[in-house]
Amino acid sequence: KEHKEHKEHKEHKEHKEPKEHKEHKENKDSKEHKDKKDKKDKKEDKDTKEDAPKEVAAATSTSMLQSMMAAPPPEVGKAKDKKDKKDKKDKKEDKDKKDKDDTKDDKAKDTKDKVPGGKTPGKDEAETFWNDLFLPVGENEPDASAVAEAAERRRQQEAAEAEADKKQAETMTAEAKRREEELGPVDETAAEVQMAREAAVELDPLRPRQVALTGKHVEVLRADGERWLRRFERLAPNASIVVQRGVEPGSWEANITGTQPGAARRAELCLRSLFASLSGETVQVRVLPEDEDDERIEVLEIPEGGDGSVLLQRIMESCEVTAAFFHEKEPVRPRPPTTQAQIDLGRLLGLATGQTVEIRFEQEWYHARVIGFTDNGLVRVEWFGGEGAEAQVSPIDVRPSSNSPEILHPMHGRLVLIGDLRQRTAAKFQAMAAVDRRVPGHFSDLFPPKPRGQLFGFDLDVVELPPGDGGACARMASKIIAASEAVVEVLSKKAFIAGEPEERRRARAFLTTLVPNAGPFGDAHGIPEELADFCSKVRVPALVVATVAGANRTNLSSIEDETRCLTFWLPQGTQISSDGGVLVAGGAMCAIGDRVEAQWAGEWSAATLLGQGSDPELVRVTWDVDGTEQDIAPDAVRPAGSKTRAVASGPKKTGAWAQGTRVLAVIGNEKSRRSCIFKVMALTENCSPGIWTGSLEDAEKEARDGKPEEEVFIGVEAAKHEGTPAEMEWLRTSMAGQHAMTGAARASGAAIQIVGSAFFFAGFPAQRQRGREYVQWACKSRMQQGIARFQAGGAGGKPLSVVDADMRDDVTVMVVVQAQMEFLRPERLAAIEQETEVMLVFDDGGGSILERGSKRLLICGDQDLMRQKALRRVNYFVAGAAPAATAPGAPSSSEREPALRGLGGPGPGAAPVKRPFEQDAGQDAKRMRPAGPAVAKSDARVVLKSIPWPDTINQWGQLQNKVWAGHPKLQRGWIRCWSRSQDSEYYLRLSDKQTTFNIQDVLA
């Protein structure tokens, strides 16, 4: 039976019309039906239009008849009603029929589009039925894996929908909570509790801090070699910062932790102060910082009249501090009281009492707060920043606030300075002076700084300037600060002084005595006693005084700026030197207490020199005849006996010296005074060649104030140049040579000056030795190319070769390949030298075997931290080229200096930043190093048997610490070697290859 039905069905399918014919027929029928319908609709419209005038006429006639007969015939009204009902029914049927036809056509179209091949759904179902009927058993059963996959997809979809619903619910809850918080606390008590909680969180000394940053903030931290990030490290010891990306795209955050209570809070204030000052904003906090909160924080109240007078960025540039204005946050205000009727009215308007909104006023939108609603549908608001001003506005002029109200940043109020005591005080004085210029007398008269009351240590004073000052102290303020090493600020007729007791005494002497009474060309009547120990004197031939001073004192003023000293001409005829010696007739110098001959009544009589007389131009002697004392002119005294010390010998007794001398007093720290004297000598030597270089020993004594080397703290050496005249000319006249001299002085820590054909060095012995070596290296490495070419190949074509570079503790070696040289452009290396206070030179390897095209870069400097910093900077520039070889223990070239990283503070007990003079004084010849564990003394013979025998001097140098571990230290420039023939060690001097077997000759 089933087979028969299948056969009949198959025959029926074969007699079906072709698909195209059927579709054509269906389209034709549909078109004919549509045409008939359109014709019918047009006919009905035409009939309606034709009947309209008739109906109007009939209505008019009926109206006339009604007016004539007073009662209308009932047939007319019934006929009209029937006609209207029929028309409405026909129109409704036509509309329903049309909608049904359109729906049928849309369904047919959709079915045709959805069914593949244009087949009808009935046909597909039939074919599917008969095809499935005759499939083999099991083929129409669903695949188990497909069912499992579908179930898994459904499960994942359901889980995703559940997760989405959960997130949506959380978002809605958070949004509701945010809106609730935006309305404010419910009452005054809740507002006070909220503010107390915020204050407790701010003041928590142990809580880690998070500071939200923007991309602009991150760029600030990256700029200028991360100098602001490094300042943060110095100002926030015992704290560390890690900067990382935030959750939101483009956002950053700084995570700050501290190792001591309060360290994280100080670091947070420091970071927020930095960003606020650089962007011209203020810092908003719940609790304003106080002086007592932290030993590194100081506050200053700036009056409203001084708004904008304090330039924060300038203060931060000149002082090692962060400075910003702090303002207290607006008090937390409870939501306005309301009723249920007000709440319902607000819901109708989409607003709520206490909500922050924006109000349109003359096409501009302003922030306000909803405080209620009126009975006539207006919104009552309170303006932000309007001191409680209220208004009633239409709801169409109110919209929910899309952002927070703009915070005003007035540049007055509480100024917070963060840094060490000296730098904070200098910044505070600058701010006070700026305000006094805007509001005269505010700080100088009304609110002067108060002394700390410290008998010893750092404190401050307020000094009244003398009436005859005439503004001289204000003009010379920066030089007074440099020469006295005190913090000084001049405000009108007063001066604020801060520093150690000696520093304050020196500044007071400058401000009250020396500077106000000095002449227009720097002439002084004498040196105050408070400055005597801080003063040196140098003689200048009278013939070259004008040249040394320069037009309008320009030369001396420039020297003062370079050396951080102040100079004054002493009265003519002054012959007293700072060591108590006296220049007498013939240019000879006699010490106080020396036996001399003095002229009295035209005869020379025996006397004893006592020193300076009551007048600076006279000297006092005691006559041996009767023991009386008398002041006489220096020319009336001559040396007697062997105790006379002739300082001015040779050409100094004649020539330029024969015309008389002027004494120039130089005031400043000892190293600065030596450098200033060197420059004055150089000017004098240019005018009168040989006046100082004729006797270098006498010149050294003059620079040491006539004292021997062992009696001075900063020693002096003078030596003739050992190179070629071309090298000396290059160093003296070319810009590259002057830069090389400056770099050598900066890296060695010594003061270096060319005087005529000689070099003068001032500093500790080790500094002077490094200075001599660095100058020679600079000549050989840079002379041909200048600073524009940091390459080997100096004068005479001989490249620089430092054979002991690997063994020196003031040199870090880095091997660079040719591909890296293009990254080490001259301006980059010059910037690194300036930033890190090192000298960078290339040499040929110093006996080491280098790959072809490679060179050694020598990073020279006394401070190891600065050398490592310079090495990181060099690696940063060459990171894109081939790897560079570095000294053992130094960072590899692959370790690029990160553009932004977390930096830890120096740690507990970090020493404060020292002033330049303190840093110089701390660099002793034998630099102090942390004491490490004792190293056992090695047996050199045994160690040498266990390793390959060294073949070169360089290999011997690299093995010094291994073969002779724990042995006594040798003098600089000497190394130990081993003699096979003598089977003992000997000592080699690298400079001239001199050898000795006597260890006593070479021990340090």
Q: Which residues are CB-neighbours of 90 under 8 A, at least 6 positions away?
A: 44
pLDDT over 50 (residue 764)? yes
The encoded tokens of residue 603 equal 């005869």
pLDDT one-digit tens code per residue, 557-571: 999 999 999 999 998
pLDDT one-digit tens code per residue, 264-286: 999 999 999 999 998 889 999 99
Across the strands, what pairs with 301? 414
d(CA 430, CA 312): 10
Please give the order of strands across the beta sheet that includes 379-383: 390-393, 379-383, 364-373, 356-361, 398-400
pLDDT over 80 (residue 237)? yes
pLDDT of res. 578: 44
Convert 157-213 into a string of H (helix), E (strand) and C (coil): HHHHHHHHHHHHHHHHHHHHHHHHHHHCCCCHHHHHHHHHHHHHHHHCCCCCEEEEE
Please give the order of strands across the beta sheet that includes 322-328: 283-285, 322-328, 413-418, 297-302
Closest-CA residue to 613 (of 599, 634, 595):
634
pLDDT over 60 (residue 109)? no
pLDDT one-digit tens code per residue, 437-486: 999 999 999 999 988 887 788 999 999 999 888 889 999 999 999 999 99
pLDDT of res. 414: 94
Buried b (16+ CB within 10 A) or exposed e, 157-176: eeeeeeeeeeeeeeeeeeee
pLDDT one-digit tens code per residue, 879-915: 754 444 444 444 433 333 333 444 333 333 333 333 3
pLDDT of res. 734: 86
Angle CA 82–85–91, to nearest 5: 140
Residue 334 has φ and ψ, to the nearest 5°, of: -70, 160
The CB density around residue 920, as the number of other CB atoms within 10 Å, is 20
Across the strands, what pairs with 804? none
d(CA 466, CA 725): 53
d(CA 418, CA 297): 5
d(CA 93, CA 91): 5
pLDDT of res. 685: 92
d(CA 83, CA 740): 117
Q: Is 256 helix (H, G, I), strand (E, B) or coil?
A: strand
Task: Kindly report which listed range (285-289, 494-498, 504-508, 614-618) carries the lowest average pLDDT score.
Answer: 614-618
pLDDT one-digit tens code per residue, 584-619: 554 556 667 778 888 877 788 888 888 777 776 678
Query: Do residues 390 and 380 lie in contact, with contact meaning Cβ atoms separated by under 8 Å?
Result: yes
- State pTM to two decimals: 0.66
Under DSSP, the state recorded for 645 is: B
Question: To the nearest whole number, what is the mean pLDDT of the chain?
Answer: 78
Per-residue confidence band for 575, with pLDDT thresholds at 50, 70 and 90: low
Greatest mean pLDDT among 45-49, 243-247, 306-310, 721-725 lies in 306-310
pLDDT one-digit tens code per residue, 15-66: 444 444 444 445 555 555 556 556 666 555 555 544 444 443 434 333 433 3
